Amino acid sequence: MLNKYTTIYHAASVSEVQMILKNITGVSIVAGCTEIARRQTGRTLQLPANVLALAQVPELSTMSKTERYLEFGPCVTLGNILQIGKKNIPEVLYEAVRTIGNPGIRSIATLGGNIAAKGQRLSAFAPLLALDAQLEIRTAFDAFWIPMSRYFSNTGREQHKNAEFISRIRIPTETWDISNYTRISRSGIISGTTAGFAFLAKSQKNILSDIRIAYAGKFFFRKREFENLMIGRSLPLSEKDIIILMDKAELFFDKTLYPPSYERKCLFNLLEESLKMLT
Amino acid sequence: MIIPFELNGKAVYIDSNPGERLVHILRKNFKLLESKESCLTGRCGSCMVLVGDNPVPSCIVPVFQVRNMSIVTIEGFRETDDYDDIIKGFAAAGVTMCGFCNAGKILIAHTILTSDTRATKDIVKGHFSGNMCRCTDLESLIEGVLQSGNIRRKRQNVK
């Protein structure tokens, strides 16, 4: 961790990034560096021995929109995402990004960095999880797509290896009747209890046609089986329906995996509040 | 590590520890003392600089990240007409300028006015969430930005 031995690799293209990953072992990938700066208070930031800087790779800072998807490069800054405007990106993602830092921080913090930050899951994770976002992962040799939920394990343990990076984030552009993002703890500041909760729902002829519930903080939660229990129910939901669904949520949210805690309580409270939006 | 970049319109380079914070480099190596080292977390705005056209707290930027980028500090920005508009607008609104967070106040105001000289109060308020000023109230600051917008529009002959 001594900077005098730190080597910085500046890549200019994705193929250069892959070449560096192939030739240098144990290289740490950075984009905006806000996460490194957030965790340190000294005058000089302590950096790993080998740092690969992605911020100046043009291919990783692109945004595009097709009929069905919105695609972001991982180095797109959070400020740029807000500049697209509320109408052009999913509302739940817009609201989540708006709670991150302040405009100065958002102009250097990146979406990829927000997803890949070590430790707890940051603000953009829950909305992307709820929106069924996909990540394109590149290693030194190949590229493949994975769903957001596979990037980390549900308990927050990191599953990805070091020698790979996110090269694209693909978000389906569906419209939702109810779109709600709640941030736990103060906006703009990350603390140990900071977490995000995203709730999406749509209906057709008073029948709940799709619902998405995602929570991300120290751990993250998204269960398609639980959501399927609700799809097809007629709206508005009754008080009795909510009690039944909350009981079933207990089964899906296994106490052995997720012991009772403040975060668990928050998740259940937010879930109940969200279901009340359907009454 | 040698890092080349553009500082206030001039091409410069430094030989520095790559992890050093940009604010520290600006103050120590270039003697640009109006960017203040304060919170070191990017929350107070007193170390604000323009990187590209974006206001960025230079305390959270490790210096290797500014390689080949253009940086404008408040000292460099002072040479422009845009600076005068903001100072006049702030004076008209009674904004106190004690000097500690001037970099944040002025560069944030410039960014707002660059995107829209008729910004609403809410937009201005949102931008100033990254600036902690102890000597001026937020209302005066918002009024100052609105006044600066009027002055800039007049200077640019925009109706």
Cis peptide before A147 (omega within 30 of 0): no
> Residue A15: pLDDT above 90?
yes
Cβ-defined contact of B18 to A101 (cutoff 8 Å): no
Point out the residue among A3, A55, A108 whose CB comes nearest to the CB of B56. A108
Minimum distance, in Å, between the CA of residue B13 and any CA atom of chain A: 16
pTM comes to 0.91
Minimum distance, in Å, between the CA of residue A21 and any CA atom of chain B: 19
Q: Tally C-beta pairs within 8 A across A and B.
A: 98
Provide, as residue numbers in chain A, all residues whose Cβ is less than 8 Å from the Cβ of B62: 33, 36-37, 45, 47
Total domain count, chain A = 3
Provide, as residue numbers in chain A, all residues whose Cβ is less than 8 Å from the Cβ of B129: 102-103, 188
Q: For residue A226, is it within any domain?
A: yes
Point out the residue among B19, B24, B67 whose CB comes nearest to the CB of A46. B19
Cβ-defined contact of A44 to B19 (cutoff 8 Å): yes
Q: For residue A141, is it within any domain?
A: yes
Judge if A143 and A206 occupy the same domain: no
Q: For residue A150, is it within any domain?
A: yes
Environment class of B25 (CB within 10 Å of its CB; exposed 0-12, middle 13-18, buried 19+): buried
CATH assignment of B81-155, among 3.30.200.20, 1.10.150.120, 3.40.30.10, 1.10.287.1260: 1.10.150.120
Judge if A40 and A62 occupy the same domain: no
* Distance, CA of A82 to CA of A77 (rounded, Å): 9
CA angle B72, B75, B76 (to 5 degrees): 45
Q: For residue A125, is it within any domain?
A: yes
B2–A contact, CB cutoff 8 A: no
Which residue, A137, A172, A207, sits at the end of a domain?
Answer: A172
Closest-CA residue to A278 (of A253, A241, A248, A223): A241
pLDDT at residue A1 in the model: 46
pLDDT at residue B75 in the model: 96
Domain positions in chain B:
2-76, 81-155
pLDDT at residue A152 in the model: 80
**Cα separations (Å) of A221 from A91, A136, A267?**
20, 21, 9
Judge if A62 and A160 occupy the same domain: yes
Contact A136, A167 (CB under 8 A): yes
Which residue, A122, A138, A172, sits at the end of a domain?
Answer: A172
Cβ-defined contact of A6 to B19 (cutoff 8 Å): yes
Residues of A with CB under 8 A from a CB of B: 3-4, 6, 8, 10, 32-34, 36-38, 41, 43-47, 51, 53, 55-56, 79, 101-105, 107-108, 188-189
Q: What is the mean pLDDT of chain B?
A: 93
Judge if A141 and A185 occupy the same domain: no
Share of chain B above pLDDT 90, in %: 85
| A96-106 pLDDT, tens digit each | 999 999 999 99
B65–A contact, CB cutoff 8 A: yes
Rounded mean pLDDT of A204-219? 90
Rounded mean pLDDT of B128-148? 92
pLDDT at residue A26 in the model: 86
Share of chain B above pLDDT 70, in %: 99
Q: For residue A1, is it within any domain?
A: no
Closest-CA residue to B82 (of B10, B9, B149): B149
Minimum distance, in Å, between the CA of residue B152 and any CA atom of chain A: 23
Judge if A103 and A121 occupy the same domain: yes
**Cα separations (Å) of A73 from A15, A55, A170, B59, B85?**
15, 11, 9, 25, 37
> Residue B137: pLDDT above 50?
yes
Point out the residue among B21, B60, B67 whose CB comes nearest to the CB of A34. B60
| B5-29 pLDDT, tens digit each | 999 999 999 999 999 999 999 999 9
Residue B97 phi, psi (nearest 5): -120, 80
* Distance, CA of A38 to CA of A36 (rounded, Å): 5
pLDDT at residue B17 in the model: 92
| A46-93 pLDDT, tens digit each | 999 999 999 999 999 999 999 899 999 999 999 999 999 889 999 999
Judge if A41 and A70 occupy the same domain: no
Q: Which CATH superfamily is domain B2-76 in?
A: Beta-grasp domain (3.10.20.30)
> Residue B32: pLDDT above 50?
yes
pLDDT at residue A248 in the model: 87
Confidence of residue A159 (pLDDT cuts 50, 70, 90): low
From the candidates A45, A46, A61, which should be mutated to test the interface with B, based on the most B CB atoms within 10 A? A45
Share of chain A above pLDDT 90, in %: 51
Mapped onto helix, strand or coil, the DSSP state of residue A29 is strand
Provide, as residue numbers in chain B, all residues whose Cβ is less than 8 Å from the Cβ of A47: 18-19, 62
Judge if A46 and A63 occupy the same domain: no
Rounded mean pLDDT of B128-153? 92
Residue A92: which domain range?
A: 58-172
Choose between B113 and A186: higher pLDDT.
B113
* Distance, CA of B56 to CA of B47 (rounded, Å): 8
> Which residue in B has a C-alpha nearest to residue A4's C-alpha?
B17
* Distance, CA of A194 to CA of A187 (rounded, Å): 9
Tell me the residue type at B22: L
Cβ-defined contact of A53 to B43 (cutoff 8 Å): no
Judge if A192 and A244 occupy the same domain: yes
- Average the pLDDT over each of A24-33, A159-168, A261-270, B77-86 and give the range with the smallest value: A159-168
* Distance, CA of B136 to CA of B22 (rounded, Å): 27
Which residue, A172, A199, A216, sits at the end of a domain?
Answer: A172
Rounded mean pLDDT of A208-214? 93
pLDDT at residue B58 in the model: 96
Rounded mean pLDDT of A179-192? 84
Specify the CATH number for the domain of residue A113. Answer: 3.30.465.10
pLDDT at residue A279 in the model: 82
